[in-house]
Amino acid sequence: MEALEVELGRTVARVLVETAGMRRRQIGRELRRLFGGRCAAGPFRGMLLPEAASWGDGDLAPKLLGAYESELHPALERVFARAPDLVVDVGCAEGWYAVGAALRLPGRIVHAFDLDEKALAICGEAARLNGVAERVRLERRCDADRLVALVTGAERPLVILDCEGFERELVTPSTVPALARADLIVECHDFLEPGLCERLAALLRPTHEIEILREGARDPGAWPVLEKLGSLDRWLAVCEFRPNLMRWIVARPRAS
């Protein structure tokens, strides 16, 4: 009986998540109509977002609002102020950071990587929509050697890693010396490998000032456009459906 109850609970939870996802897609479509497909706030305000997504709904509603990964917004503003001369984005998905960085850093090259061909196609479309396609270079796989080769030729590179655990293959004792001049923003997938965040931070600490950010709360009341929605719809609009509490490493070169 207990096993049956557990399985029933999982089934109910799955149905609730699927139903919530369908409703958020509806909210995202309405926000797209209201905003003309552009991000309304945040570091990438004004960026046009493609209609397609490479997974789920691509967090369209939070991105249109400018709420997506708001924990990182202050760090992004600081790093953009330092004018990186190259950007490497591993796990680019639909191009939120790759295209956003190209818009914020005129003239700079962005190397965007994703194993998913659909994601690369959508990222390319996002780059075209925003007039930065000539500066967003799309590739499938970025291994440690490729990352080192890219950052070695730059003075102030920015490296963004959101690659579902593969960050452990890119931040290693052999790559850290090459990354010494790079700003890094690393989404840590500890639910795939417990303790990963602490291990990567320890590797970077000799060369970088380290800040570990935790996923925080969202205030749906901060967006007037959501005021006429019910409470659940407002929360869905800013929800990012994380599998557990997420953390990011923000690493700034000590030499800077």
Instruction: Output the pLDDT for position 15.
Output: 75
What whole-number distance in Å separates Cα of residue 84 and Cα of residue 143? 21
**Residue closest to 72 by CA, chosen among 218, 208, 249:** 249
Q: Rounded mean pLDDT of the chain?
A: 94
> How does residue 21 score in pLDDT terms, banded at 50, 70 and 90?
confident
What whole-number distance in Å separates Cα of residue 97 and Cα of residue 131? 15
pTM of the predicted protein model: 0.93
Instruction: Output the pLDDT for position 18.
Output: 85
Domain extents in the chain: 69-253
**Residue closest to 251 by CA, chosen among 183, 195, 189:** 183
- pLDDT tens readout for residues 227-254: 999 999 999 999 999 989 999 999 999 9
Contact 22, 15 (CB under 8 A): no
pLDDT tops 60 at residue 8: no
Average pLDDT rounded to a whole number, residues 98-107: 98
Which CATH number describes the domain made up of 69-253?
3.40.50.150
> How does residue 17 score in pLDDT terms, banded at 50, 70 and 90?
confident
User: Strand, coil or helix: what is 179?
Assistant: coil
